[in-house]
Structure 1
Amino acid sequence: MKKLMVMLFALLPSLVMAAGAKVPLDAANNDLSDKASLQRGAKLYMNYCFGCHATQYQRYERVANDLDIPVDLMRENMIFDRDAKIGDLMTNAISTEYAANSFGAPAPDLTLVARVRGTDWIYTYLRSFYADPSRPFGVNNVVFPSVGMPHVLEELQGVPSKTYETRLVDGEEVQEYVGIQSDGTGELNDEEYDEAVRDLVNFLEYSGEPMKLERQNLGLWVMGFIVIFFVLTLLLKKEYWRDVH
């Protein structure tokens, strides 16, 4: 029985992810080598997300150095706690109890969300809010039904709504969901909003693994070394066994 419970808990994350895979996900196509995109994403995150969601496994100084943001500019525009130091972890002031009472559940830390959910899931999720007067914050989400989070990017996107297309199925007209459409009252048009979300997702992917590009580059050097070492080993083997054969 104990082993069965362990197996069920081990499978639980994969089952949860599988349940969320019913909604087709759009490709984020973000680029970790694009420093300008990462800088814009960091700005969006700090202004629209950080009030509730910390990235407590990141440090302000590390982000500034990695993204080529001058330390003075980081301290002046992206550190809202005036008592915080540039080397501090990126925690916010909202308490777990307050967040739970306000949103129904504590606001999760987002440092590793891209590694848990995947960039395509986050990209699609942030573009799938729609107006729903029955919900506490007046919005719902196609990817995450009954979401407890408000649409914090609404001022950028405008008021989004579901769009449907009438199709004939077995001779009957059926309303089929085709996507989300903004009413145009946001600061950005559809293409600009998608690009802003992509920048935000880019920053979240960076936060989950700041050394990803360095690791990948190091991996290429290691693979190159292995190939060269294999060739030298093969030549040495032939030299040693030449007289035997």
Structure 2
Amino acid sequence: MKKWIVGAFALILSALLPLSVMAAGGNVHLDKANNDLTDQASLQRGAQTFMSYCSGCHSTQYQRYQRVATDLGIPEDLMKENLMFDPNAKIGDLMTNSIPEDAAAKWFGAPPPDLTLVARVRGVDWLYTYLRSFYADPNRPFGVNNITFPNVGMPHVLEGLQGIPEPVYATHTVDGKEHKVVESTRVDKMGELTTKEYDQTVRDLVNFLEYSGDPVKLERHALGWWVMAFLALFTIIVILLKKEYWRDVH
């Protein structure tokens, strides 16, 4: 029995370990996103940011415009007018993009991934940190690099909002040798937003991506409490029934 339990535990751990490593993003410190899926205004702002800055390359092809509009409380006419940039798209269509996959692979080295489930794969803290970790690097094809995702192949699409982050270096000694690494960033030339406003914009975007990866999360959690309450009540009834049934036997 002990061997069976140990083997089962090892199997579960081996399955979960790759996910935990991927979500943690290596040894990089991750800032807390502090998302709130009940904040509908934040989700609406996040959807607007995604469609304005991300949807040109990335899709959320497992979501539909109409479902997003309904869930986030966006009237369909406003959805069509402000968040649907494909003139041929219908409100019931999937949220794909029109960028040719072969052309995207040529421009970026690989087709930009679909982001419907990115928050579930990477984790919301990883996304929040990643989008705030770009810095200027003239040696990279798009002139930027990223602390959380070194040698990233993606441009800093939110640079107009944040500004141009500059790297802040630190020196670490490993095996007696000094290594210069990028430890943080600073923004000397601000964009359209202040640092606080930019952080909130990123939080809204990550909030939307978390919703996109699990649209029924709040409903599922609410239902879970009812299920737990039912099981608790059912357990009490079963215990009382058992006592009543066995009373005459003993």
Name the TM-score, length of structure 1 as normaliser. 0.89
| Counterpart Cα distance in 1 of 2:48 and 2:195 | 20
Matching residue of 1:214: 219
| Counterpart Cα distance in 1 of 2:154 and 2:181 | 26
Over residues 9-66 of structure 1, what are the superposed CA-to-partner deviations in whole Å (9 max), with x where a residue is unaligned?
x799549628832111111111111100000000000000000000000000000000
Matching residue of 2:209: 204
Tell me if 1:60 matches 2:65: yes
Instruction: Calculate the aligned-residue CA RMSD, in Å.
Output: 2.4
Matching residue of 1:237: 242
Structure 2 counterpart of 1:47, one-letter code: S
Matching residue of 2:56: 51
| Structure 1 residues 137-176: aligned runs within 5 Å | 137-164=142-169
Structure 1 counterpart of 2:201, one-letter code: A
Aligned residue among 118, 128, 152 for 1:113: 118
- Find the residue that maps to 1:183 and give its secondary structure: strand
Matching residue of 2:32: 27
Report the Cα offset of residue 185 of structure 1.
2.3
Matching residue of 2:3: none
Over residues 97-131 of structure 1, what are the superposed CA-to-partner deviations in whole Å (9 max), with x where a residue is unaligned?
01101111100000000111111111110000000
| Counterpart Cα distance in 2 of 1:15 and 1:208 | 17
| Counterpart Cα distance in 1 of 2:114 and 2:159 | 21
Over residues 169-220 of structure 1, what are the superposed CA-to-partner deviations in whole Å (9 max), with x where a residue is unaligned?
9xx9986754221124211111111111000000000000100000010111
Moved more, 233-242 or 220-229: 233-242
- Find the residue that maps to 2:185 and give its secondary structure: strand
Structure 2 counterpart of 1:202, one-letter code: N
Q: Structure 1 unaligned runs (5+)?
A: 1-9
Tell me if 1:72 matches 2:77: yes
| Counterpart Cα distance in 1 of 2:104 and 2:173 | 45
Give the number of equivalent residue pairs: 234
Matching residue of 1:226: 231
Report the Cα offset of residue 161 of structure 1.
1.2
Moved more, 16-25 or 218-227: 16-25
Question: 2:63 touches 2:212 (CA, 8 Å); kept in 1?
Answer: yes
- After TM superposition, the runs of 4+ consecutive aligned structure 1 residues lying more than 3 A away are 10-16, 164-169, 172-178
| Counterpart Cα distance in 2 of 1:114 and 1:149 | 17
| Counterpart Cα distance in 2 of 1:50 and 1:175 | 36
Q: Structure 2 unaligned runs (5+)?
A: 1-14
| Counterpart Cα distance in 2 of 1:61 and 1:73 | 11
Structure 2 counterpart of 1:108, one-letter code: P
Structure 1 counterpart of 2:187, one-letter code: S
Question: 2:22 touches 2:121 (CA, 8 Å); kept in 1?
Answer: no
| Counterpart Cα distance in 2 of 1:29 and 1:185 | 24
| Counterpart Cα distance in 2 of 1:74 and 1:151 | 26
Tell me if 1:128 matches 2:138: no
